[in-house]
Amino acid sequence: MATITQTAIANMALAELGANRITSFTDGSKNQGLVVSVYDFAKEHALAAHPWNFAVKRQAAQAALAVAPAWGWDFAYALPADCLRVLIIGKNGIETDEPWQREAAQDGSQIIVTNLEAPIDLKYIYNVTNTQTFSPTFVIAFVKTLKWLLARPLTGKAEIQLQAAQELKEFFAKGMSTDGQEGSPEPYGSYELEDVR
């Protein structure tokens, strides 16, 4: 696979807009300043939008926080620092259908609240920082997200930003199938076969 760098990703988005390329994330150009201002947000947005295979982590045996939620739920669990989006919670390696929700704790930190007793397991999308692990499909999604965010500041034209937004929407609607084809479908929870005669 080709070497993918932050600068290469930024230049793909700039090229789609017919804008001047940057030489680095510190080259001092107007385009570099615009790219840097939206790069991290665009990456996190594109990562959180889909359960990319390369960006999914599992964490087992998450302990409950000492302080329970004020009301409505029995337990609170801290989220990993790199968590962008929680996909599944489970127990003993099995997905659960126990209700849960992502919220903010009193101190503003991100938590999961649930009635599921500790320990719990998490499957989540994490904030990937190594561009060499990005899948080709994700790179396209990331480039299209950057294009959408840069379109108006670079061109001054709302219609170009709207066109970029439509391209991004269509890509996520149609272009995600290849990522989902890497691996067997995961069963939901645990199953026991029953005789239903």
* pLDDT tens column, 121-154: 999 999 999 999 999 999 999 999 999 999 999 9
pLDDT confidence bin for 181, thresholds 50/70/90: low
Cα–Cα distance for residue pair 35/154, rounded to 1 Å? 10
> Does pLDDT of 109 surpass 80?
yes
Q: Which region, left, alpha or beta, applies to residue 156 given φ > 0 means left and ψ of -120 to 50 means alpha?
A: left
Cα–Cα distance for residue pair 21/159, rounded to 1 Å? 22
Stretch among 60-64, 181-185, 187-191 having the lowest mean pLDDT: 187-191
Per-residue confidence (pLDDT) for residue 193, from 0 to 100: 27
pLDDT confidence bin for 178, thresholds 50/70/90: low
> Does pLDDT of 1 surpass 90?
no
Q: Which amino acid would we find at residue 30? A: K
DSSP for 14-35, written as a single string: HHHTTPPP-SSTTS--HHHHHH
> Does pLDDT of 51 surpass 50?
yes
Picking from 141, 165, 140, the residue whose alpha carbon sits closest to that of residue 151 is: 165
Q: Which residue has the tokens 């790219």?
A: 35
